[in-house]
Amino acid sequence: MFLCLVILSFAAICDVYSGRIPRELTGFGMLLSQAWLVYHASVREGLTALICSVGLLMILYPLFMIGTLGAGDIKLIMILPAYMTFTDALYSVFLSFVAGACIGLVRMIATGTLIGRLRVMKSYIEAVSKAGKLLMYDFPASVTGDGFKQHQIHFTIPILIGTVMSSGGYFRL
């Protein structure tokens, strides 16, 4: 689990400083995680973790398609099954979303954008219900540059928080 936390920490640092998670880091992290699992457990365990990673990809892919979750975040989450069971990985993802929601809420309150973001969310829900399908979650055209950064969080930090909370056993439902 230590190796997982090291990979997640490096990804969080890269995301905060550059705004993205390097492909090389997630690719190396996936390869290293699978190699570690095969070496310390078995090829069967490695294949099971790989199948669980694909399962996580299938679950999270709709969030990527509507633009609310980045590809780097999903690739980072796909590393988790090499270090924990699929159920624990899902639990870690759930805690990551809870941590992300808390961080986002605090940030919106601190910047005074909570009401505006709730209006954008309301209009998105109305557009989805009218269209009958998921749509791209677009920011208003007026939001560019630093204003855009004000509306996004680096999800690698909640992933790290969720993984630490679930692996440490701090929160169990």
The per-residue b/e assignment along 138-164, b for 16 or more CB within 10 angstroms, e otherwise, is: eeeeebeeeeeeebebbbbbbbbbbbb
Q: What is the pLDDT of residues 156-173, one digit of tens each?
A: 999 999 999 988 765 554
Cα 126 to chain centroid, rounded: 25
* pLDDT over threshold 80, residue 138: no
Domains of the chain by residue range: 2-167
In this structure, the dihedral spanned by the alpha carbons of residues 115, 118, 123 and 128, taken in order and rounded to 10 degrees, is 180
Report CA-CA distances (Å) from 125 to 58, 107, 136, 139, 145. 23, 22, 11, 14, 25
**pLDDT band, very low/low/confident/very high, at 60 (cuts 50, 70, 90):** very high
Q: Which amino acid is at 60?
A: L
* pLDDT over threshold 70, residue 134: yes
Q: What is the arithmetic mean of pLDDT over 88-116?
A: 92
* pLDDT over threshold 80, residue 117: yes
**pLDDT band, very low/low/confident/very high, at 98 (cuts 50, 70, 90):** very high
Q: What is the pLDDT of residues 1-15, one digit of tens each?
A: 888 899 999 999 999
Question: What's the length of the chain?
Answer: 173
Q: What is the pLDDT of residues 44-56, one digit of tens each?
A: 888 888 899 999 9
What average pLDDT does the structure give for the chain?
86
